[in-house]
């Protein structure tokens, strides 16, 4: 079977919104598995993510599945798989070295990193509207997390900085190689994450079975989490990257910061703080500017 044609800009935005919706379910799944640490969760959600992606690729390409893995240029395969593995591993590590709010605020630098990297990797110039949206989104996250931000140690800050850098790196790589189906590269990243997180669980998790040690009930939840919270969103994100510039990709993904507390509010009655409402509104505004700002400016210039 042939790969679907490149989606239009509007369809690409819908794909990225779908990806963000899936990613925002992370908190719900983590709450259902309070006995697991980050290594165990990353280990098995990476495994089940790769299993689902492989099934998806076989369903789409059939006998050509192996050829689709070979089609991906080796630098792209290494970069996407590496950035996925690095981002997942560094995120867990950063939470052990700095507070969650600090990691969240630093994570909001991802669109800015994407804007810096884009001209070099994708040859796309970041517009003034995109830069404004990126810094506005950073301010929104800062408002939400301000009360919980702590300086932490230098190591924690440096590790936390590598998380948004990894996500930005993955985003611009997907954009750079948008002519290829990059799902096979993400699939490889899941396998590497499974092995690395499992081994890291021995060192940092203190489990006799490392990150591989989970109960049957937990395994069933992780088998659901892998596809719903990672596989399907990443398929959508890779498709969106074919039509949407890197900075806008990163900014739309930041709606995860808004949706996560929303699910907690709906699911378990945790009412968000006032700062969460204010910061969330700022982030939504930034995303709207990123999606429509350039076109609005071009249209305004054309009407003059």
Contact between 174 and 124 under an 8 Å Cβ cutoff? The reply is: no
- The tens-digit pLDDT sequence of the chain (304 residues) is 445 567 889 999 999 999 999 998 888 888 888 889 989 999 999 999 999 999 999 999 999 999 999 999 999 999 999 999 999 999 888 877 877 777 888 888 999 999 999 999 998 888 888 899 999 999 988 888 776 666 556 788 888 899 999 999 999 999 999 999 999 999 999 999 999 999 999 988 778 898 999 999 999 999 999 999 999 999 999 999 999 999 999 999 999 888 877 887 776 666 777 888 898 899 999 999 988 877 776 666 555 5
Q: How far, in whole angstroms, is CA 79 from its chain's centroid?
A: 15
Per the CB < 8 A criterion, the answer to whether 141 and 253 are in contact is no
CB atoms within 10 A of CB 20: 23
Structural domain boundaries of the chain?
A: 9-298
Task: Give the orientation angle of helix 183-200 with respect to helix 232-240, to 10 degrees.
Answer: 140
Q: Which of 218, 160, 227, 220 is nearest to 40 (CA)?
A: 218
Q: How far is CA 143 from each of CA 8, 221, 229, 276, rounded to the nearest angstrom?
A: 34, 33, 26, 7
Residue with tokens 């997907």: 174
3-state SS of the chain?
A: CCCCCCCCHHHHHHHHHHHHHHHCCHHHHHHHCCCCCHHHHHHHHHHHHHHHHHHHHHHHHHHHHHHHHHHCCHHHHHHHHHHHHHHHHHHHHHHHHCCHHHHHHHHCCHHHHHHHHHHHHCCCCCCHHHHHHHHHHHHHHHHHHHHHCCCCCHHHHHHHHHHHHHHHHHHHHHHHCCCCCCHHHHHHHHHHHHHHHHHHHHHHHCCCCHHHCCCHHHHHHHHHHHHHHHHHHHHHHHHHCCCCCHHHHHHHHCCHHHHHHHHHHHHHCCCCCHHHHHHHHHHHHHHHHHHHHHHHHHHHHHCC
Site of tokens 């240029």? 73
Q: CA-to-CA distance for 182 and 159, rounded, in angstroms?
A: 26
């Amino acid at each position: 079977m042939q790969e679907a044609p490149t989606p239009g800009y509007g369809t690409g935005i819908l794909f990225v919104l779908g990806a963000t919706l899936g990613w925002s379910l992370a908190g719900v799944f983590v709450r259902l598995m309070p006995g697991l640490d980050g290594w165990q969760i990353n280990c098995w959600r990476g495994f089940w993510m790769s299993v689902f992606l492989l099934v998806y690729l076989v369903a789409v390409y059939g006998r050509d599945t192996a050829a689709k893995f070979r089609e991906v240029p080796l630098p792209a395969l290494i970069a996407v798989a590496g950035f996925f593995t690095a981002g997942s591993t560094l995120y867990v590590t950063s939470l052990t070295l700095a507070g969650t709010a600090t990691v969240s605020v630093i994570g909001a630098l991802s669109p800015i990193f994407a804007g810096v990297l884009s001209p070099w990797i994708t040859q796309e110039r970041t517009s003034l509207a995109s830069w404004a949206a990126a810094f506005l989104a950073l301010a929104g996250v800062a408002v939400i997390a301000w009360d919980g931000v702590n300086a932490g140690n230098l190591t924690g800050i440096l590790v936390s900085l590598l998380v948004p850098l990894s996500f930005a790196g993955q985003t611009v790589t997907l954009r750079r190689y948008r002519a290829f189906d990059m799902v096979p590269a993400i699939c490889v990243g899941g396998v590497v994450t499974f092995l690395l997180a499992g081994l890291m669980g021995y060192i940092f998790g203190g489990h006799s079975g490392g990150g591989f040690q989970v109960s049957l009930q937990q395994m069933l939840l992780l088998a659901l989490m892998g596809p719903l919270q990672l596989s399907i969103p990443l398929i959508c994100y890779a498709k969106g990257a074919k039509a949407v510039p890197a900075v806008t990709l990163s900014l739309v993904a930041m709606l995860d910061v808004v949706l996560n507390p929303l699910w907690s509010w709906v699911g378990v009655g945790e009412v968000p703080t006032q700062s969460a409402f204010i910061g969330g509104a700022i982030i939504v505004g930034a995303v709207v500017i990123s999606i429509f700002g350039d076109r609005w400016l071009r249209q305004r210039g054309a009407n003059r």
